Structure 1
Amino acid sequence: MSCGIHKALWVVVTIIISICDLLDLCIRKLKALCMRSYDSIFHGQGSYEIDYLERCKPELTKIPKHLSIVVGPDSDTDSEILSKIAAYALIMDIDYISFFDVRGVFSLEQVHVPKFISSKKMRNGHFLWSMPGDRSKTAQLKYRNGLEKSIEVAVLSKNDGKALIAEVCRDLFEKRNTTEIQEALKDRPSLTNIISKSLQKKLNNMTDPDCAIIFSNHMCTYGLLPWHTGFTEFHLIKTGSYFSVETFARVLYRFSKCEQRYGH
């Protein structure tokens, strides 16, 4: 009898939680729709976002060198938002931006590149987005004394996570009889250093991400570069939330306030 009551209560609680989650998602989507309409009417495109980020720069004590974007399986984020984030990162002088789409949908070849940015494919499969120092009057800004600024844009997959570590370990196993590997096996830091260098080479010498934005209902890395994210600051943007230039700036402000001790 008590077992049946417990099951019934569990079903009721599950239904209530599901309804609350659905209402929360609907509220976020409605808020996002209102914010999107507000931005399109009052802010327009391009110049407002650039001016806003430029005003934020002096207030930030540090800016990430590598920003990674994780798109979870339950995310409703589209390629338009992801391409905007890359443009924001370029404006903020971030060197690398990587996208890890668990769904396998996002592709840089299909991304709409903003008018003030030029894009070209690199030999390593990444893209280089550049912005000339002296742009049109619509931007009304110059960067680094007229010098061109650029950001390297990459798309990561599950093969760049645990599968890549396994591949590197297989390569080292094949070289196990060499003097270098035999010496490294006697000293764990040396072996770690060899693995790290091998992973960096396979990832085209991309620096470790120091900041990441996760688009999902759950704070989960979904297998993003497990070897390289030991000191990464993760920020969650829940599904259905509106992502604007202000949202991006808030992430950078939070990152700027974080003290990364790196084990010290």
Structure 2
Amino acid sequence: MSSPSVYRLLLIILHCLYNLVDFILRTWIYWRYRVYQYFTANTFIQNIDNYIHLRILHLDKLPAHIVIILGTEKPSYSDLSNIVFWCIASGIPYITFYDHKGTLKKTEEILKDTLIERKLDMKQIIWNHEEYKNGITSTTTTTNGYKNGKSKHAQNGTRKFHINILSHTNGGKHSLVNTIKKLSTSYYNNRGGETGNHPPSPSSDMIDIEYLNNYINSDFKLPEPDLGIVCGNILCLYGILPWHIRTTEFIQLETHVNIHIDTFLQILYKYAKSEQRYGK
């Protein structure tokens, strides 16, 4: 047998062994989590707020806005609802899910139903800029941001949590293409005055980076994410707009499926220890 054939055979054997070990580890993690969940569900869920509060009590900082990038993974609605509950228990007011394929955007009602089934008070939730009232949604014009460690809703005596579902069409590079198309159409049709929530139709010398930023942000009414969780084995941002993530700290998560609360808390610990230099 020639040397290239031997090397090829060894590579195939190593590849098979790697896949076998990876399969065994994933299976072990999956069943360990299921067994743990079965035996601790009753006591753990009842004390989840206290558990999280005690674990994050001494952290120097917490994100005000988390974005979860699903990558190539299919949405696991039960696990995404867990993340929502844990963010709310941690006092994180902005939770964004970015699925570049658009699957979650098309099926977001399933996520809503999952949250309702788990007894989440939907009156706390502002969903894609729409607020729940008596089982229906109505638009709201809230101001984003934290001040002195509290959201502006909290300062007014109410605590609201913002859940947003983004895809490549409304939170990725495709939205930049749509913006250019709108500006071109508006310019060549000589449309003056306001167009929806957007600035007036500009002349060609008015269009610069600042103008584009204001134009896009009139749709994307969210603060920049502080923490980004990238799901999957590939560390890729999947086209999420770069000016939304200028100061975002990214942490990779192997998968959001069967994510455990301690894994979520470990991500918060990593974020708290990170030093954001803001380009310095």
Taking structure 1 as the reference length, the TM-score comes to 0.76
Structure-2 separation of matches of 1:41 and 1:14? 42
Q: Cα distance, 1:120 vs. partner?
A: 8.0
In structure 1, the residue matched to 2:211 is 194
In structure 2, the residue matched to 1:101 is 99
Structure-2 separation of matches of 1:56 and 1:34? 23
1:4-43 to 2 correspondences below 5 Å: 4-43=5-44
**Conserved 8 A contact 1:215-1:238:** yes
In structure 1, the residue matched to 2:90 is 92
1:1-264 to 2 correspondences below 5 Å: 1-43=2-44, 45=45, 47-74=46-73, 78-102=76-100, 104-106=102-104, 107-111=107-111, 112-113=114-115, 114-119=118-123, 125-128=128-131, 147-159=157-169, 160-172=171-183, 175=187, 181-182=204-205, 191-203=208-220, 205-239=221-255, 242-264=258-280
Identity of aligned residues (%): 22
| CA distance 1:261–1:7, shift in 2 (3 Å) | same
Q: Which 5+ residue runs of structure 2 have no aligned equivalent?
A: 134-152, 191-200
Show CA shifts across 1:140-164 (max 9, x none).
xxx9699321111111112121101
- Residue 84 of structure 2 aligns to a residue whose secondary structure is helix
User: Aligned pairs, how many?
Assistant: 241
Structure-1 separation of matches of 2:250 and 2:36? 24
Show CA shifts across 1:91-124 (max 9, x none).
33323111123554433322222425124886x8
Q: Cα distance, 1:210 vs. partner?
A: 1.4
Q: Cα distance, 1:67 vs. partner?
A: 0.7
- Residue 57 of structure 2 aligns to a residue whose secondary structure is helix
Show CA shifts across 1:16-51 (max 9, x none).
2222222222122122223322431542x2x41111
- Residue 80 of structure 1 aligns to a residue whose secondary structure is helix
| CA distance 1:129–1:152, shift in 2 (3 Å) | farther
- Residue 86 of structure 2 aligns to a residue whose secondary structure is helix
Q: Cα distance, 1:57 vs. partner?
A: 4.4
In structure 1, the residue matched to 2:150 is none
Show CA shifts across 1:185-238 (max 9, x none).
xxxxxx3322222221122x1112111223323333233333322322222332
Q: Cα distance, 1:4 vs. partner?
A: 2.8
- The one-letter amino acid of 2:205's match is Q
**Conserved 8 A contact 1:29-1:241:** no
Structure-1 separation of matches of 2:29 and 2:239? 27
| CA distance 1:240–1:230, shift in 2 (3 Å) | closer
Q: Which 5+ residue runs of structure 1 have no aligned equivalent?
A: 131-142, 185-190
| CA distance 1:215–1:193, shift in 2 (3 Å) | same
- The one-letter amino acid of 1:192's match is I
- The one-letter amino acid of 1:60's match is L
In structure 2, the residue matched to 1:136 is none
- Residue 243 of structure 2 aligns to a residue whose secondary structure is coil
Structure-1 separation of matches of 2:120 and 2:4? 65
What's the Cα RMSD here? 3.3
Taking structure 2 as the reference length, the TM-score comes to 0.72
